[in-house]
Each structure stands twice: as structure tokens, then as C-alpha cells.
Structure 1
Amino acid sequence: MVKQYDIIIVGAGPAGIFAALELVKAKAGLKILIVEKGREIEKRVCVARERNAACFKCQPCSTVCGWGGAGAFSDGKLTLSTEVGGNLGLYTGEKNLADLIDYIDREYLHFGAPEQVFGMEHEEEIQEMQRRAVLSELKLLPVRIRHMGTGRTSEILQRMQEFLVARGVDVLTSCQVEEVLVKDQVAQGIVTQEGKVYHANCVILAPGREGADWLKRVAQQLGLKMSVNPVDIGVRVELPAAVMEHLTRIFYEVKLLYYSKTFSDRVRTFCMNPNGEVVLENNDGLVTVNGHSHAFNKTENTNFAVLVSKNFTQPFKEPIAYGRYISSLANLLGGGVIIQSLGDLVAGRRSTKDRLAKCMTMPTLAEATPGDLSLVFPYRHLMGIVEMLKALNQIAPGVYSRYTLLYGVEVKFYSSRLALSNCLETEVKNLFAAGDGAGITRGLAQASAAGVLAAREIINRI
């Protein structure tokens, strides 16, 4: 039996959830279906972490798939700025994007996000940090950040699901979408892997970063135009929390940009987690690294990513494949994620268990394999990472220490960017795309805002 809906949303990450929230608030009685290939949030359990073992390569990975998306078990940072977190401003304009970010921020507060916002006070200290950054050839972006924290973030997302279900939204988890139905260049619905057909007047594709490859296949099937986004590849850095405390106390997550001296590549810090832990992620069979900062359980370390962004020239069209290739080298050499001390990397030797046991920074990811990251990264990426750490050391002495730990690979599987209208509609009428998987956002705030933007256009048409 074919089921008919008004709107189908593919993906239950922040873009999909906020699209649904906006729709139910705007008009009662809409028939809405959310389809998610991962599990319900209460069933999203990482078996490897539960057993303190290496990644089991579960399909789908509960860390990055399921209700809430990859952000459900992240440290839940809302970056309340138009300058970072994606390219949504290209579609909305900066003023409208700022309004959208303020709007979704209020929604997170309504569902239980904490009141505290980092980066709003300490004006003199911020100016001094910016001055020191300039002298170190770094650009410091002072942004407001609301930190929810792992644990609290999942509670907020659970409340959002309960709110939607109570208002008649159907949620179908553990369900993979096989095909998007289109007739005469108008969206018609979806077909699941089990062959079930669901029809709808409008479809929103919001599969998240982990679903970027799936969305690319859909785009190819439908003949949708795409442009290549930069590839972001790097390491997760871990060091004693005291090294970054003077920065994290003010900013929580400090956003720094650097252009390498050797190759002029853009290098940036990303996803800083004060007193956090390094964790594994399974990206469709590839084991990569990420970081969390819990709302309640703290460690003695701080971790953050250092990512090198590269734009490629034609005929290159496969940013996801390139990122997967680099990640696969670490998996091949280390059976998963590789860990190496900065001292060993600079000395040109692989790290061993014995040498890491003498390291003053105790790793929070016990499953990582001691090894040599220089066998994984292209030379220009490695140079960019090392140069960035040297520059960081000038504003945070202790970063460029022999005891600093590097985990690889961290890669952001940003999709090639779909050709979209200003309301995020594809070249197919009534087919919208939103969030990280569509290649237009890079984080919770802008992904949530993208869902709202698509939903508002649908509401106008209804």
C-alpha cells in the first residue's frame, strides 16, 4: 500500500529536525514523515566504547547515524555567528542568516540548552588575544558559542522528537532510502530499501555529513548539477587542558585560521573540546577520529582538530573519495586510528606503546594504534599541520610540545555542493536539500537554520 504525506524529510539530523519543527508550528494537521537510516536516540549505543575495544564497524554507525545525526553525541556547540559553520549566507544574505541563527538558538533554549554563551564578555582580553594572534600570523575569529555538552545535547534532541511525535509526525528509523521519486521534474516521494513507496508533495533531503555520498548518488541519478567543495583533512590534537585554558575560558572554542608558509594552504582549528575526550567514528566502514566534551564528565585534556582545506582543479570531482582514500591509509597501517606524539613525528620516527607510556599527555582514546602519520598524509598537508601548531604555540605555549598527541585521520566528508535556489530548492520542483550533506553547512547552527529555511518555503507554497 502506497502512503501519502504532505512532506517527507530524509534524515533526522539538525536540518531535518528543525524543518519538521518549523512545519508543525506553522500549520497543524500536516502529514509529515521523517525517514532516518540510523536508530532511535535511546538505542544509539557504540559497542566499541561500551566494551572498551576497537571499532566494530557497525552498519550504520550509532555515533554518526540515528535521531539527532552526528551531532547527537558531539559536544553540542552552537556557533552563533555567520562567519563560520558553512555557506548558508550565500543563499540568504548575511542579515537573514543572522536572524535565522538567532531564531534556532531560541529554539534550542526552549528545549533545554543552557543560558551561558561564551565569547560575549572579556572584551579587553579578546582584543589582546587578537593582537597576539596577528603577531603569530593567525586570524582569531571571536564568535559567540553556546555549549550544550554531550549528554545534555541528546536530552534536548529527545525532547524535540517527543514534541514532534506528539503533534502527529511519523518517524521511521533504521530505514534506508533507496530512491527519490521524480515525475516530470517534480518530486513525488521516496522508495525505501525494502521497496516500500511513500508519496509526498514535497521532499527535503537532509542526510547529514555521513550521508553526503548517498546524496551525491541521488543527484547523479536525477541529473542535478553539483560543484566541488574543498576537502578538509587533518588530525585531532590532544594536550593538557591547562595549555589552552586561557583561551577556552573566554571562547570555549577558539576559531583560528592560518595560511601555511610553504604552500599557502588554508589551515584551521575546528571542534575544540575543553576537558573532553577523543572518540572513534565509523564513516561507512572507515574508522576516523573526532572529539567530544561532556556536559558532566570532565577529563584533564583538551582536544581539537587541525584541518587543511584544499581546493582541487578540474577534472577532479571526488572530494569524498579523496577523503576516504587518505582515511583508508590510516586504517590499513593501524587497523583504525593512528596516534603519534608530536615529538616522534618531528623526529621522523613512529610512536610505540613504550614511548607513549612516557608521554606526559595521557591519551583519552585507548583504542588508537601507535604509528607514523607521515606515512598517511601528503607532504603538504603534514607541513600545514606542523606549521599551524608552531604558530599556535606563540599564543598558547605548550601546543608545540613533544608530548602533544596527534590522532589521524580526521576528515570532514563534505559533499559536492548541490545547485540550489535561495530557498534551497534543487532543479527538481518541490525537492529541497539542507544541511551538511548538501555541502552548504558545516555544523549544528547553520544546519538547523537550513532546515528552517527550506520549511518556510514549503509553508509558503502550502
Structure 2
Amino acid sequence: MYDVTIIGAGVAGIFLAHELMEHGQTVLVIDAGKPLGQRTLQETYLGFGGLGKSEGKYNYSAGFGGELAGKLGTEKTLHLMQQVDALLCRYGADEVESYSTANFVLATRAKAAGLETIETTVRHLGTSLSERILRQLEAALHQYVTFRFETAVATIEQQADGFLLTTEHETFSSQRVVFATGRSGTTWMQQQLQTLGLVQNKTRLDLGIRIEMEETAFRTLLQDTFETKLAYASAAGTAVTYCMNPKGRIIRKHQEGLVMPDGQNFREQESGTTNLNFTLFLPRYFATLGEANHYAASVIGRINQGTDRIVVQRLDDLRAGHSTQPHALVENKVRPTLEATPGNLIEEVPDTDITVLLEFLDRLEHLLETPLSPDTLLYGVDGKFYAPVLSTSPVFETDLPGLYAIGDCSGVTHSLSQAAASGLYLGQHLTQKTAVLRE
């Protein structure tokens, strides 16, 4: 019998397994994906490392990226993030310097413009370094942790002394079971929870327009930091900038059967650009996952039209209320880094999102103290998906004793840093609990 079985080898599961390993626990990790070395570019979420294999951007903040601070408190959350960073550095993350987005002058100017700055410390590993770190973590874990890749858990049954898990070829016994499947395991987890008599709650969905503009426009704001994160408290909810990429490009992102505009950091490219891009996300909440997915498909799917179609529009055209024509993009001062279909976002995007976008851009011009170029480009629509919230205790235990949910699949965390912190926290709790039992 294993002490702990972790279902999911993403960041949350890895950090939990590492903590348990260092305290002599017997650990089994099961993942539907492949080992790190066998993962392909298309396997974005499944396999060892999960989404941590991408750009490896760790935002150490209690203010965004999840509601971990609401569960554990701000001080504890930030302390856990320090531990996350220390563990990453132990495996090579200190090859890149961390940076802070804190800037008192910028914060003051933003407030005067009707915006707020969200401060964070960032350790941006990049894809290649992130993979090297994960490779070392995988090697360290393999010495003491049992892995089963390309394996799906069919059933989980509660027993007197723990749980019985069955897969296609094997059966495992475990004192405790931890869901760490991320957003990608939502459907599987929903089925398991229904069988176990557990119910998930509301689901969040963020939709947003990706903005591509001249990098020089932000240069005065970014003198002391690589990026900034701005929030606008609109009547429809707080809109937040996401994934700011100075000198970066826009690429296509495939998720949930949908195609969306996404940002790519200049470090992931052979050469940078003269543009800067980011998404302005507006959150929505739905009673169920099905409702959230249906709404996303109704907006983004309609834009895609069964293809990889993404719509782009010049800011001047949006403000004038007419479509961008193909010849206008050829002559556009801001050169598009993504091949997209010229059109009219007013006809493609919910009115609320257009209203909030225009209100935000007005305030951004106030902050920048200069009008935005009329050639600024707007791409629709980006999406950020979340797992439904699952009721858990302060230590991530569900209503079924011995069954836990951490990371993004819990609905509590929405980022690499908070997912990793939740794994560390649960690992510390379980090892302390075991120590007490053994005494």
C-alpha cells in the first residue's frame, strides 16, 4: 500500500511528490500523459511537468493567479511561494534573474488614470530552462517515487484503510489519494467526483481581446521592469491585463477545441519585434462547467467558424465602428505578427467586452500620457479556462476523508506558482500528520 497516490504529474503533483519524497513517504504518481522526454509540442497539458513545460512563468503574488490567499492567508501564501522559488533554484532556476513589477511612481500614475497596478515578483524561466529543470526534478523523483505514465485511473473506491484504484492493467491501494490533474483533467475528475458523491461549484471563464501595439508606447513605463499588470474596475467586473510581451509575437493557441490569439515572449523567438502585446481579460462566472464551456464555444467557436480563424481590427476602425479592410493591414504602421482575418470585432464579440475594452484603452492613454496609435491591433478572442471550484478544507481535503484536490483542478489556483505552492503546502501537512500518527 502506498502512503499517497497523486493523480496528475503537473506542477502541483510534482511539488507535492518532492515534499513527500524528502520525508520518506511511499508515493505513486499516475498521469495520462507521457514522461518529459517523450512529450511532443502538441501535448501541452498532459505528461510530466504539465503546463510548466511551456514558458515556465512563475508570478509570486497573492493578488492574482488564484484564490490561495483566501484559503491560507496572504503571509502564508507568499512564504510558500518563496519555498517554491527556492526549490526551483535548487534545480537551476537561478540561471535567470527574478524581477519585480513593483513601481511606486507607476502605481500612483495608474491610480490617477483610473487603473490599478498589480505587483508581483516574477521568475520567467523560458521553455528551454523550464524543461531542463523539470528533467532534473524528474530524475530526482524517479529514485524514490513510482510513476505510471499513459495510464488512466478507471475507478476509485473508498475502503476501511484507504482507497483502491484500478487502471486498465493494475490495481493499487493507497492510504490517501490526491487529485492534481489541472484544468485538462476536468471531465475525468467530474466523473470520478460524481461516483464518489462529491459536487463541484461555480466555474470561472475569462474572455479577452489581445492587443498589439508599438513597444515604444510602453517604454517609459517599463524602464525598471520587464512588464506590468494593470487592473480596471469596470461596471461589468475587474478586467486585468495578462501575459504582457514586450518585443514579442502573437501566436495561435489551441485549447478546448477552440483557436485563440496568445502571446509569445521574445526569448522564445529567433529575433524580437518592435511590438508589445497583452490580453485584457474580463472574468465571468457560471453555475456549472457545462454552462461556461457552452458560452466559450458560442463566442470563440463562432469566430473560428470550424477553422483556425481569428479576427483582427485596427483600433481606429473599432472606434469608428467599421470593419478593417485587408489593404489597411498592408499599410498598417503596427505590423501584425499573426496572420488573422481583418474584420469588425463589434460584430464578433459581446458588447460588454467591447465597452470594457474601450474604457480601459481610454484610461491607458491617460496613463501613457499620449494617444494610442490608430494602427494598434486588436485580436479576438482569447480565453482562459478554469476548473469548477471544489469544496475543500484549509488543507485541501474534500468532504471524503483522505481524498484531496490541489492545483488548478481544485478551482482554487490558476497559475504555476499557486499550483506549486498548494502542492508544497499539502505535502507539509501530510508529512506532519504522518509524523504525529507514528509517534
* 8 Å Cα contact 1:189-1:202 kept in structure 2: no
User: Of the candidates 331, 346, 351, which is equivalent to residue 319 of structure 2?
Assistant: 346
Structure 1 distance, partners of 2:179, 2:197, is 15
Residue aligned with 1:425, SS: coil
* 8 Å Cα contact 1:19-1:454 kept in structure 2: yes
Q: Which residue of 1 aligns with 2:5?
A: 8
Assess, with a 3 A threshold, how the Cα gap between structure 1 residues 34 and 398 changes in structure 2: closer, same or farther.
farther
- The reply on whether 1:35 has 2:35 as its aligned counterpart is no
- Give 1:22 deviation, angstroms: 0.9
- The reply on whether 1:216 has 2:190 as its aligned counterpart is yes
Give per-residue Cα distances to partners, 1:35-61, cap 9 Å, x unaligned.
Answer: 223333334333xxxxxxxxxxxxxx4
Q: Which residue of 1 aligns with 2:178?
A: 204
Assess, with a 3 A threshold, how the Cα gap between structure 1 residues 353 and 190 changes in structure 2: closer, same or farther.
farther
User: Of the candidates 378, 385, 394, which is equivalent to residue 406 of structure 1?
Assistant: 378
Assess, with a 3 A threshold, how the Cα gap between structure 1 residues 104 and 402 changes in structure 2: closer, same or farther.
same
* 8 Å Cα contact 1:186-1:429 kept in structure 2: no
Assess, with a 3 A threshold, how the Cα gap between structure 1 residues 358 and 44 changes in structure 2: closer, same or farther.
farther
- Give 1:422 deviation, angstroms: 0.6
Structure 2 distance, partners of 1:316, 1:149, is 31
User: Of the candidates 286, 296, 299, which is equivalent to residue 323 of structure 1?
Assistant: 296
* 8 Å Cα contact 1:86-1:440 kept in structure 2: yes
User: Of the candidates 64, 87, 90, which is equivalent to residue 110 of structure 1?
Assistant: 90
Q: Which residue of 1 aligns with 2:54?
A: 73
Instruction: In structure 2, give the amino acid aligned to 1:365.
Output: L
Structure 2 distance, partners of 1:424, 1:99, is 18
- Give 1:352 deviation, angstroms: 4.5
Assess, with a 3 A threshold, how the Cα gap between structure 1 residues 96 and 217 changes in structure 2: closer, same or farther.
same
Which residues in structure 2 correspond to 1:273-292 (within 5 Å)? 273-292=245-264
Unaligned runs of 5+ in 1: 47-60
User: Of the candidates 270, 276, 284, which is equivalent to residue 302 of structure 1?
Assistant: 276
Give per-residue Cα distances to partners, 1:361-413, cap 9 Å, x unaligned.
Answer: 233333x4444333332111221122212212222367843322222222121
Give per-residue Cα distances to partners, 1:82-103, cap 9 Å, x unaligned.
Answer: 2222111222122211211111
Structure 1 distance, partners of 2:162, 2:347, is 46
Unaligned runs of 5+ in 2: 435-439
Q: Which residue of 2 aligns with 1:19?
A: 16
* 8 Å Cα contact 1:11-1:205 kept in structure 2: yes
Instruction: In structure 1, give the amino acid aligned to 2:283.
Output: S
Q: Which residue of 2 aligns with 1:188?
A: 163
Over the matched positions of the two proteins, sequence identity in percent amounts to 29
- The reply on whether 1:138 has 2:115 as its aligned counterpart is yes
Structure 1 distance, partners of 2:165, 2:312, is 42
Q: Which residue of 1 aligns with 2:437?
A: none
Which shows bigger deviation, 80-89 or 131-140? Answer: 80-89
* 8 Å Cα contact 2:246-2:266 kept in structure 1: no
Instruction: In structure 1, give the amino acid aligned to 2:119.
Output: P
* 8 Å Cα contact 2:180-2:409 kept in structure 1: yes
Which residues in structure 2 correspond to 1:55-70 (within 5 Å)? 61-70=42-51
* 8 Å Cα contact 1:233-1:410 kept in structure 2: yes
Residue aligned with 1:429, SS: coil
- The reply on whether 1:44 has 2:18 as its aligned counterpart is no
Q: Which residue of 2 aligns with 1:82?
A: 62
* 8 Å Cα contact 1:243-1:397 kept in structure 2: no
Q: Which residue of 2 aligns with 1:170?
A: 146
Residue aligned with 2:47, SS: coil
Assess, with a 3 A threshold, how the Cα gap between structure 1 residues 292 and 191 changes in structure 2: closer, same or farther.
farther
- Give 1:14 deviation, angstroms: 1.2
The alignment covers a number of residue pairs equal to 431
Which shows bigger deviation, 127-136 or 403-412? Answer: 403-412
* 8 Å Cα contact 1:6-1:202 kept in structure 2: yes
Structure 2 distance, partners of 1:158, 1:378, is 43
Q: Which residue of 2 aligns with 1:128?
A: 105
Assess, with a 3 A threshold, how the Cα gap between structure 1 residues 175 and 304 changes in structure 2: closer, same or farther.
farther
Q: Which residue of 2 aligns with 1:356?
A: 329
- Give 1:139 deviation, angstroms: 0.8
Structure 2 distance, partners of 1:185, 1:254, is 52
- Give 1:249 deviation, angstroms: 4.0
- Give 1:268 deviation, angstroms: 0.7
Assess, with a 3 A threshold, how the Cα gap between structure 1 residues 284 and 319 changes in structure 2: closer, same or farther.
closer
* 8 Å Cα contact 1:202-1:458 kept in structure 2: no
Residue aligned with 1:393, SS: helix
* 8 Å Cα contact 1:35-1:173 kept in structure 2: yes
User: Of the candidates 450, 457, 461, which is equivalent to residue 422 of structure 2?
Assistant: 450
Residue aligned with 1:158, SS: helix
* 8 Å Cα contact 2:288-2:388 kept in structure 1: no
Give per-residue Cα distances to partners, 1:89-144, cap 9 Å, x unaligned.
Answer: 22212221121111111111111113522227xx7xx2221121011100112222
- Give 1:306 deviation, angstroms: 0.6
Q: What RMSD over aligned residues (CA atoms) do the two structures have, in Å?
A: 2.7
Instruction: In structure 1, give the amino acid aligned to 2:29.
Output: I
